[in-house]
Structure 1
């Protein structure tokens, strides 16, 4: 998932407090930025002096607001390192459930079924609601996706793939959908459901995945909700089929390796010289 760590990168998102200039007003503005996904887990806030100037409040008022947000678990302070957005998205499942899911293949099918339906909704909403800024962000991601595809780097393609899906959900402008899907994408990034490298390595898969992402982007850019919905469904349906095919290929390779080992061992036994006096 994309992280912003450059202090200057987030400075301009803060605006002047125009009314009462209380700690509550400051806290509400930061809360809204977190809720809408503008500030993400791990993002660093500007320094106290700069942030107070951006919001046009006194430093004591700002400190009170930051302390209140930290007490509620929304912000975290690192000694000598500044103030950061805390890990508030969390996980969909506790660790014991995650381990259980990882050992049961049906979980992958259920996860992809869920993603197919929810991402269809997200893409449709994005096509209806995406602003010019949303479209510019998606276009930038697509350009970088083309570049990563041409370079052939798996790790970069996987990272940009996740960034693209996050950007689509952001463009849907539904914060419940946004935070729910971010948590789901974490499970995917950690390989809980299936190994994406195996899907990427299937013949022609990378080209098809790129084309599917482009189709989703173009439908959102052009404001075509039904096309965006269909493109998202087609994309996840392909991932479902590719994931199942990768699992079958793994199983075939496992069985073939066992057969080869057994036949090699049999051949070795049969050709082993007999000891003198051994029974026929």
Structure 2
């Protein structure tokens, strides 16, 4: 664990132990360094992280103040790494392949969660947040051009999670992290089913571009509408493809030649 992250956790524990209320001023930098036994560089980086999460705020000429106390467990959830991982072929991952209603549950969960994360991200995203979202968007576009479905799906999931991080709402972020494996598998399933439809892929690219633009431009209503339209589009495409597959299988069973 990075020293700055450990220092941020120590600061949160100090705020909790001393029961510092919203608006309370933190001790001076030198005093904090002595109390926490850390360097000024580590302390400044930790304070920067907590300011970014909305826990602290810096007032020019006045110092650093408590803006919104945060439990250490929630801070750790916000620091969870969003790294590419292999798709797990376990029972949970199979559910939305064998049970269309379960896939619908995933769709509805994404719709509810991501409408909120996009809304708040458009209001709260920092320049660093925007760069994080844009980097995931660029990786997605690169892998898509290469025809690398697996890595494109991972980048797609990371794009949506980067938006959740930019919402600066730790409860929403924790829920999105818990949904990550399900979201990741859901995206892979969608891409496998529409992979051969270049026109539809162009639509997906345009939708991601619109989401990024609205979040970057600070347009919460447009960002929410764009992400809901995108998730609805993907769900409808999969539904249509599954319906066509079911019809084809039925015709085949009946022995009717197309």
Shorter-normalised TM range: 0.5 to 0.7
> In the alignment, does 2:49 pair up with 1:34?
no
Q: Following the alignment from structure 1 to structure 2, what is the Cα–Cα distance between the partners of residues 195 and 139? A: 22
Matches within 5 A, 1:78-227: 103-190=98-185, 194-202=189-197, 204-227=199-222
1:149 and 1:157 in contact (8 A); partners too? yes
Match of 2:36 in 1: 21
The DSSP-based 3-state class of the residue aligned with 2:179 is: helix
Unaligned runs of 5+ in 2: 9-31, 38-45, 47-69, 84-89
Kindly state the Cα deviation for residue 256 of structure 1 after the two structures are TM-superposed. 3.4
Q: Following the alignment from structure 1 to structure 2, what is the Cα–Cα distance between the partners of residues 162 and 252? A: 31
1:202 and 1:242 in contact (8 A); partners too? no
Q: Following the alignment from structure 2 to structure 1, what is the Cα–Cα distance between the partners of residues 159 and 183? A: 14
Matches within 5 A, 1:229-268: 229-260=224-255
Kindly state the Cα deviation for residue 35 of structure 1 after the two structures are TM-superposed. 2.9
Kindly state the Cα deviation for residue 185 of structure 1 after the two structures are TM-superposed. 2.7
Q: Following the alignment from structure 2 to structure 1, what is the Cα–Cα distance between the partners of residues 35 and 142? A: 49
Q: Following the alignment from structure 1 to structure 2, what is the Cα–Cα distance between the partners of residues 41 and 204? A: 29
Kindly state the Cα deviation for residue 128 of structure 1 after the two structures are TM-superposed. 0.3
Structure showing greater radius of gyration is: 1
1:108 and 1:194 in contact (8 A); partners too? no
Question: What TM-score does the superposition give when structure 1 sets the normalisation length?
Answer: 0.60
RMSD: 3.6
Stretches of 4+ aligned residues off by more than 3 angstroms? 10-17, 28-33, 95-103, 190-196, 199-203
Kindly state the Cα deviation for residue 216 of structure 1 after the two structures are TM-superposed. 0.5
| Matched positions, count | 200
C-alpha offsets along residues 107-128 of structure 1, whole Å, 9 cap, x if unaligned?
Answer: 2223212211221111010000
Matches within 5 A, 1:44-55: none
The DSSP-based 3-state class of the residue aligned with 2:36 is: coil
Unaligned runs of 5+ in 1: 1-6, 43-94, 264-280
1:102 and 1:193 in contact (8 A); partners too? no
Q: Following the alignment from structure 1 to structure 2, what is the Cα–Cα distance between the partners of residues 252 and 122? A: 37
Question: What TM-score does the superposition give when structure 2 sets the normalisation length?
Answer: 0.65
2:111 and 2:228 in contact (8 A); partners too? yes
The DSSP-based 3-state class of the residue aligned with 2:35 is: coil
C-alpha offsets along residues 48-73 of structure 1, whole Å, 9 cap, x if unaligned?
Answer: xxxxxxxxxxxxxxxxxxxxxxxxxx
